[in-house]
Amino acid sequence: MDATTPNSQRRPFSIKLWPPSENTRRMLVERMTNNLSSPTIFTRKYRSLSKEDAAKNAEQIEDAAFTIASQHYEKEPDGDGSSAVQLYAKECSKLILEILKKSPKTEKKETSISEVVPAVQQNLFDISKGQRAFIEAEEAEELLKPLKEPGNPYSRICFSNRSFGLGAARVAGPILASLKDQLMEVDLSDFVAGRVEAEALDVMNMFSEALEGSSLKFLNLSDNALGEKGVRAFGKLLQSQTNLEELFFINDGISQEAARAVSELVPSTEKLKVLHFHNNMTGDEGALAIAEIVKRSPLLEDFRCSSTRVGSEGGSALCEALGMCSHLKKLDLRDNMFGPEAGLVLSKALSKHENLTEVYLSYLNLEDEGAIAIANALKDSAPSLGVLEMAGNDITEEAAPAIASCIAAKQFLSKLSLGENELMDEGAIQIGKALRGHNHLKEVDMNTNALRRAGARVLARTVLHKDQFKLLNVNGNFISEEGVDELKDIFKKSPELLASLEDNDPLGEDGDDEEEEKESGDEGKDGEDELESKLKNLDVKGDEES
């Protein structure tokens, strides 16, 4: 596992709890089947289902809960997935109870999950579950049958994770064409994986022609290695859209030419609220084209242009364009090469945004100059700011007063990430003091900041008694052995609030690379074990608890 960014900056390892493995999902279905078919604490009011009906409903419950939790996780793609796991379990528990409630002892009628799953889930046709696989004509005929039924309710389709060949595309094309007047959301992410370029482009053209003239609000074309040819293959679809509110080009090989093609082929973005470009090779020239799209998107609320190889010139153009988007709530520009100059331009844009709630500015080479300007701008704007990330920006204690002053003004702050900087004890103490009155705080990350005992202790004592607090990360610092013992003692009643200190070096020496590689190899297994632990006690909760 490569633990470095494109800019060769080391990042800490993290355990991802979402998505669960197929084994975990099957395990949960089996457990819910038993819950639905066995006598329960509700047997005086509700009757259990037959084994067959219980199994059928359990599968549908799990699928509905998985979809809801996955949508929740998409909004926080860089989190550890713990909140998605909690939502997953909660939705399963809630739907089990709803099924049982609709099966009273005096009734003979069997209950269907369609009676209790929200309508928004019932109008979704999704073939993305399960293993990633090719799909050919015969399987497509069978799989897409529900879309051919007269009066079907589907306004949202997801064909992600299944690779369409020419045969399957010829089956899907007429079906999509017949549905296009009722479709509002289309997810075609990762739907030509493994196909040779010529076949993939033909499939894209077929889907584009089939959906031309639809009036979509949501379109996801991510994970398709589009490049300019792929973008233009979707030209008919893109050019016909005038009501798009959410558009995604993530991990698509969007070069400067492809970015110009997107700008050219999406004629109207006046209603656009969400625009995501992530993990592309856009560069400065491409960023100039994306900036033109942003300028035409006055209602933009959520903009992501992260890991796109954008430097100072392109970053400055993007940031200047963002100044025109007065409705912006979420901004993610992580992992680019903006530098202090673009940081100054960004600070001017941020001073105009009163609605910002999440700002992700890690790994932008902002240095003290850019960080100070941004902190000063945010201090006087964005009163409801809940998330601020500025990790890996070569920020020193010189910028700490400005950052602390900004933080002190953000009483709704729930997550602060300043890891992999050089704030040292002086900066940590100022920031710790600034956080004292923050009752919404859940997470503080100050890893790899050359902290010693004093700075870590102030942070620990600051966050310890906050009702909603979940995690303090001060790993990768230079805390003495006595300091580590003190931290553990501070958190002795709630050790889960303190992240691992395995990479702490009390002597300031380099860590063991071999040990780091071993940790990265065990990461997936550890995450799965923790996930299964969180789900293993899933049971039906009573009305008061649900």
pLDDT, tens digit (0-9, with 9 covering 90-100), for 461-470:
999 989 999 9
Domain boundary among 206, 240, 268: 268
- State mean pLDDT over 361-386: 97
| 52 within a domain of the structure (yes/no) | yes
Domains contained in the chain, number: 2
Same-domain check for residues 140 and 250: yes
List Cα–Cα distances, 342 to 310, 318, 345, 422, in angstroms.
10, 9, 5, 21
Same-domain check for residues 255 and 129: yes
Does 495 score more than 70 pLDDT? Answer: yes
Which structure tokens are listed for 167? Answer: 């045969």
**How would residue 358 be classed by pLDDT, with cut points 50, 70 and 90?**
very high
Q: Does 382 or 40 have the greater pLDDT score?
A: 382
Range of the domain at 42: 22-101
**Residues in contact with 8: Cβ distance below 8 Å, sequence separation at least 6, in sequence order:** none
Same-domain check for residues 131 and 209: yes
Q: Name the nearest CA neighbour of 423 among 409, 434, 413.
A: 434
Same-domain check for residues 52 and 156: no
pLDDT, tens digit (0-9, with 9 covering 90-100), for 296-322:
999 999 999 999 999 999 999 999 999
- Assess contact for 338 and 311: CB atoms under 8 A: yes
| 457 within a domain of the structure (yes/no) | no
Q: What is the spatial distance between Cα 374 and Cα 403, in angstroms, rounded to a whole number?
A: 9
Cis omega (within 30 of 0) on the bond before 12? no
Does 13 score more than 70 pLDDT? Answer: no
- What is the pTM assigned to this prediction? 0.74
Picking from 105-119, 352-366, 439-453, which range would have the lowest pLDDT averaged per residue?
105-119
Same-domain check for residues 97 and 194: no
| 316 within a domain of the structure (yes/no) | no
Same-domain check for residues 96 and 129: no
**How would residue 512 be classed by pLDDT, with cut points 50, 70 and 90?**
very low
Same-domain check for residues 47 and 173: no
Same-domain check for residues 147 and 229: yes
pLDDT, tens digit (0-9, with 9 covering 90-100), for 188-199:
999 999 999 999
List Cα–Cα distances, 28 to 114, 246, 283, in angstroms.
20, 33, 44
Does 109 score more than 60 pLDDT? Answer: no
- Assign 6 to helix, strand or coil: coil
Picking from 34-38, 131-135, 504-508, which range would have the lowest pLDDT averaged per residue?
34-38
* 126, containing H or E segment: strand 124-126
